[in-house]
Amino acid sequence: MRTARARIAFLLVLIAALFVARAGFLKYRTHRRLSKSPVVADNQATNTTLPSPTPTPSLTGPTTSPTIVPSATETVSPAPLPTPEEISEPASPASAPGFVGTLKLIIPVAGVRPDQLIDTFTDARSEGRVHDAIDIPAAAGTPVLAAADGVITKLFQSERGGTTIYQLSTDKKLIFYYAHLQRYADGLAEGSYVRQGDVIAYVGDSGNAGPGNYHLHFSISIVNDPKRYWEGTNINPYPLLHH
| pLDDT number for residue 10 | 73
Q: What is the pLDDT of residues 124-174, one digit of tens each?
A: 665 656 768 899 999 999 999 999 999 999 999 999 999 999 999 999 999
CA–CA distances in Å: residue 130 to residues 85, 217, 234: 33, 13, 11
Is 192 part of any domain?
yes
Overall number of domains in the chain:
2
Q: Are residues 223 and 106 in the same domain?
A: yes
Residue 149 forms part of a structural domain: yes
- Between CA 147 and CA 144 the distance in angstroms is 9
Three-class DSSP labels, the chain: CHHHHHHHHHHHHHHHHHHHHHHHHHHHHHHHHHHHCCCCCCCCCCCCCCCCCCCCCCCCCCCCCCCCCCCCCCCCCCCCCCCHHHHCCCCCCCCCHHHHHHHCCCCCECCCCHHHCCCCCCCEEHHHEECCCEEEECCCCCEEECCCCEEEEEEEEECCCEEEEEEEECCCCEEEEEEEEEEECCCCCCCCEECCCCEEEEEECCCCCCCCCCEEEEEEEECCCCCCCCCCEEECCHHHHCC
Residue 25 — pLDDT band, cuts 50, 70, 90?
Answer: low
25/113 same-domain check: no
Instruction: Give the model's pLDDT for residue 60.
Output: 44
> Do 108 and 16 sit in the same domain of this protein?
no
Residue 108 and residue 149 in contact, taking contact as beta carbons nearer than 8 Å? no
- Does the pLDDT value for residue 182 go beyond 90? yes
Residues 127 and 214 occupy one common structural domain:
yes
- If one compares 231 and 16, the residue with the highest pLDDT of the two is 231
Please give the residue range of the domain that contains residue 235: 99-241
> Is 3 domain-assigned?
yes
Single-letter residue type at 19: F
Determine the Cα–Cα distance for residues 139 and 59; give it in Å rounded to an integer.
91
Q: Is residue 89 part of a domain?
A: no
Residue 96: pLDDT above 70? Answer: no
Amino acid identity at 131: H
Average pLDDT, the chain: 74
Among 14-23, 136-145, 160-169, 186-195, the minimum mean pLDDT is found in 14-23
Lowest average pLDDT, out of 46-60, 77-91, 103-117, goes to 77-91
Q: Is residue 116 part of a domain?
A: yes
Identify the pLDDT of residue 20. Answer: 66
Question: Residue 28: which pLDDT band, with cuts at 50, 70 and 90?
Answer: low
Q: Can you tell me the distance from the alpha carbon of 139 to that of 107, in angstroms, rounded to the nearest whole number?
A: 15
CATH number for the domain including 173?
2.70.70.10
100: left (phi over 0), alpha (psi -120 to 50) or beta: alpha
Query: Are 143 and 223 found together in one domain?
Result: yes
Looking at residue 32, what is its pLDDT? 59
Q: What mean pLDDT do residues 93-114 have?
A: 70
The verdict on 26 and 103 lying in the same domain is no
Query: Same domain, yes or no, for 227 and 112?
Result: yes
Asked if 220 and 86 touch (Cβ cutoff 8 Å), the reply is no
Q: What is the pTM of this model?
A: 0.58
Neighbour count for residue 24 (Cβ, 10 Å): 10
**Is the same domain home to 103 and 205?**
yes
231 within some domain: yes
